[in-house]
Amino acid sequence: MNFVSRLPAHVTGITLWGASLALGLVACSKNAAPESTPAATAPAAGAPGAPTGTTGTPAAAPATGSAPAAPSPVVSVVTVKVEKRDVPVVLKAVGSAISLASVDIRPQVTSAITQVHFKEGQFVNKGDVLFTLDTRTDETNLAKAQAQLAKDQATLDDAKRQLTRSRELVAKNFISGAAVDTAQTLVDSSAAVVASDLAVIQAAQVALSYGRIISPYAGRTGVINTPVGSVVQANVTVLATLVKVNPIAVSFNLPQRDLADFLAAVSGQSSVKVTATLPEDKKPLIGKLQFVDNTVDPASGTVKLKAVFDNKDSKLWPGLFVNVGLTTKKIEDALVLPQAAIIQTVRGMIVYAVEDGKAVIKPIKLVFSAGPDAAVTGVQENDVIVVDGKQNLRPGVKVVERPKPGKEGAGAPSATPGSPAANALPAAPSPAAAPAPVAPAASK
């Protein structure tokens, strides 16, 4: 209650103290006015004794005229010139390398493996022995068939001698002619038995040949699934896999929208060149188109193609993905510029050209794009086109060429008159150069 009752008295005291302070400041300013230096001899801004503002910085001089007009903006850009050259039209696709032949090596007889003649992953030639099976039973059967052939051959020889003797006796009228017929029948039957024995021997030789499994063609082997000593079952057990890698094929799909151009390009040509490029290698491999499917896949809207490549260096491997290029035609005297210069707008594609130091819009139409370049219409040869810095351009804006990346001085701002670097204002003086503000003398 005492504080509340005394509150009006405190407020009145504070008000009177503020009024006294204001009167003292006015009196000090009046006393200091006659001592001020005339304007003609006023010290320069920033010099000791110069009038200061409330923040201690030199007071700004009154304006003597209108402010200068702001300089027009200048944008630094990187440009290139439009080139005229022939551009090949290449249909591109992603394909995968596939083997022209791949076979599972299986035995044709049930037996045990006695020897493996290659190592896993080894390259083998056509006719090389891969596996040897236990063939003792087949060797015995062959020997038995050969012995039977010798026996029957002896019987046949004897029958032939009997036939000759019978013919001599019949000629001398010692025996009847029926004896000759009987001897001839015996010769014929013995000859048939010998022929049967020869067939048995050939069958035994075929069975014996199954004990040596040879490579049907040159290729690379896979994993050996059955080591030495394993018993394998005829036509069931997979001993290893052999893949043909030279030559090798690349299978890829072509969209149906490109099918007409492709067929027009390949008509009348005996072979069509196809390129295959590995993702980590820039040098393409050259091959020949081998197969074009006779139908378009309705599920994907593509047609399947296959090309064959020489693969002596084993750069292509079955299952490897490659970038495929198929050249169909060539655009002669095409106007080429970088795709990075093209701007897509709601009204179509445009580029910024530089004419008389200013940016000019040029509508264009894309004819064909290949990698970083594009063949277009709507520009002329040697036109200067903006590649970098186009996002800051407007029609009629002044531009200045800056060094291209990778050249000496690249990245340094250009000091061309009128550029932002040349029009930059000087730095403000350091606060340390300004004199400290002088407090007014307290009134007595």
- pLDDT tens-place string over residues 74-84: 888 999 999 99
Dump the DSSP string for 263-332.
Answer: HHHHTT-S--EEEEE-TT--SPEEEEEEEE-SS-BTTTTEEEEEEEE--TT----TT-EEEEEEEEEEEE
Give Dmax over CA atoms of the chain in angstroms.
187
pLDDT per position as a tens digit, 129-187: 999 999 999 999 999 999 999 999 999 999 999 888 888 888 888 888 888 888 899 99
Find the length of the chain. 444
Residue with tokens 């890829």: 252
Number of H helices and E strands in the chain, helices first, is 4, 21
Domains and CATH numbers, the chain: 77-86+332-401 (2.40.420.20), 89-100+244-330 (2.40.30.170), 107-242 (2.40.50.100)
Residue 119: closest CA among 223, 239, 216: 223
pLDDT per position as a tens digit, 206-265: 999 999 999 999 999 999 998 999 999 999 999 999 999 989 999 999 888 888 878 877
Grouping H, G, I as helix, E, B as strand and the rest as coil, residue 120 is coil
Q: What is the pLDDT of residue 269?
A: 61
Q: Name the pTM for this structure.
A: 0.55
Q: For residue 220, what are its two tokens?
A: 């690379």
| Average confidence score pLDDT of the chain | 78
Q: What is the pLDDT of residue 57?
A: 41
* Strand 321-338, strand 302-309: pairing: unpaired
Angle, CA of 237, 238 and 242, to the nearest 5°: 160
Tell me which amino acid residue 395 is.
Answer: P
Q: Any idea which of 112-121, 122-131, 256-265, 412-421 has the lowest mean pLDDT?
A: 412-421
Residue 379: closest CA among 83, 120, 37: 83
Cβ–Cβ < 8 Å for 52, 435: yes
pLDDT per position as a tens digit, 309-353: 998 888 898 999 999 988 877 788 889 999 899 999 998 999 999
Q: At 285, give phi and psi (nearest 5°).
A: -100, 140
